[in-house]
Amino acid sequence: MKRAFTVHTVLQFIFLMVFWLLLSGHYDLFHILMGVVSALLVTAMNLRLRRFHFYREEIQQVEARLKRQFPVTLRPLRFLYYIVWLFWQIVVASLQVAYAVLSPRMPIDPSLVIFKTRLPNTSARVILGNSITLTPGTITVQLRDDEFLVHALMDVSASGILDGSLPGQVARLYEKTPGQVVGNTTIIRSKRDM
């Protein structure tokens, strides 16, 4: 565990350094040294933060890698595909929301959707939660363990979640053939049902 933590710290430093070099654009000794100092400072400030739950899982993955095991990790090519796919979903959903906002009758029908997911780890759940919020028409209001609470502006906005396509895509980032990802769905449509 300790070794994995060190490796993870070094990886973080390297990542920050690359980021600095990208942003600075000056490649002389003085500016690079300044980058080293800032990256070290940020890494030092993060040391204590990284002992908490979200990072712990990440560090456990590093540990498994060091032991030559292959944990369930993000598949990079699939992730590239996912970004393109998500961008397309965002475009489609934006047009739907734009139509709803501009139409004089304003055909909105908000609902709260509660559902449980079966995703392999915390990162996957965060990716799903952020993707839902990033797609216009749906917002993740609450995420507790496996349970999502989503506010949807229209029925058509929530359909991508209810038929399991968005959660399915997220699960496929980690596993080749995920099973049923979404379950226990409840839809709330009036204040009395809350």
Q: Cβ(179)–Cβ(117) under 8 Å?
A: no
Q: Determine the interface stretch with other proteins among 3-11, 20-28, 59-67, 74-82 (rule: CB under 8 A).
A: 20-28
CA dihedral 88, 92, 97, 102 (to 10 degrees): 120
3-class DSSP assignment, residue 114? strand
For 107, phi and psi rounded to 5 degrees?
A: -80, 60
* Contacts of residue 94, Cβ cutoff 8 Å, sequence gap at least 6: 136
Residues near other proteins (CB under 8 A), total: 39
3-class DSSP assignment, residue 90? helix
- Residue 37 vs 91, nearer CB to other proteins: 91
Q: Which of 43, 130, 159, 185 binds other proteins (CB under 8 A)?
A: 130
Under the criterion CB under 8 A, does residue 49 sit at the interface with other proteins? no
Q: Determine the interface stretch with other proteins among 54-62, 74-82, 107-115, 166-174 (rule: CB under 8 A).
A: 107-115
Footprint on this chain of other proteins (rule: CB under 8 A): 22-23, 25, 87, 90-91, 94, 97-98, 101-102, 104, 106, 108-112, 129-137, 139-143, 149, 151, 153, 189-191, 194
